[in-house]
Amino acid sequence: MAGARAWLAAARPELTKALHTYGAVHLRGLPLAGVDDVAEVRDVLIPEATPYREKATPRSDFGKGVYSSTDLPASQRIQMHNENSYTLTFPGLLLFACLTAPEAGGATPVADCRKVLDGLPAHLVAKMRSAGWLLSRSYSDLISTDWKSAFGSEDPSEVERYCADNLIAHAWQEDGNLRTGQVRPGIITHPITGEEVWFNHLVFWNEWSLDEELRETLVDEFGRDGLPFHTAFGDGGTLTKEDLAAIQAAYDAATVRETWQVGDLLLVDNILTAHGRDPFLGDRKIAVAMGAPVELSDCRPTVEPAASF
């Protein structure tokens, strides 16, 4: 690994330049045999870590600040998104490393968010520019994530302080569970390149992205206000199925993918580029690290973040 670390350190300025140009860089043939190797590479390329805040999907902690990409079922496609787009401080850089390649599928597709923004209908861009987007979460021990896991605390007062400090509306339910709501801008500007991008989880957690049978079951059981995740425009305006299809088409047109091989490394500028996951067969172990924290306030948000349901 010493030779690989030295090469990466020397190449880091060029890799950064490529990231600002293309949004993502895929490297092949590195000697990545385990988590320790990934941590060593991370320390060279992303020396300043970013904690995983407001956890939303299951991950395994491999140690040394390295995690699984996700522990969601292999058959489930993960929609395109920017990591932690709903937090006030988010990772500027993501690192994905292939330790075990799947038998089939399982790529980590990436989409240039500058192209996504350019490919969207004007009315959706105008709506997002003026209103932002709303994320509502209902935490539960039965489905999705419980609030203790999401906030990394068993102390309700500590969670309340976090919500107050991070502009998140919160309400405790009769069963002891938590409901939160936050408005965030869906269009921001990269603090270094000065380019505007589409940056959000609007489609990722919208009810129309769910399997139709699952959506109907969840809505019937919990109501829209009780869904584990629910998104809308920041003024409460709903996202229609037609809107979702238009956004998905813009993502698809901007998406590229590469089949994973052991030793592959994917660097992602989390502002310029969204990522997802294709369904797969067989074992798959993609390790993830994140860092280079960015403050939302440094990204010229078109809408100020707010606590709201």
Does the 1-309 domain belong in CATH 3.60.130.10?
yes
CB 289 within 8 Å of CB 96: no
What pLDDT shows up at residue 138?
A: 95
CB 143 within 8 Å of CB 137: no
What pLDDT shows up at residue 212?
A: 81
Q: If you average pLDDT over every residue of the chain, what do you get?
A: 95
pLDDT tens by residue, 205-249? 999 888 887 778 887 888 877 889 999 999 999 999 999 999 999
* Mean pLDDT per 10-residue section of the chain, whose length is 309 residues: 92 98 97 96 94 86 91 92 98 98 98 98 98 96 87 96 98 94 98 98 92 80 84 96 96 98 98 98 97 98 97
CB 135 within 8 Å of CB 182: yes
For the chain, domain boundaries:
1-309
What pLDDT shows up at residue 145?
A: 86
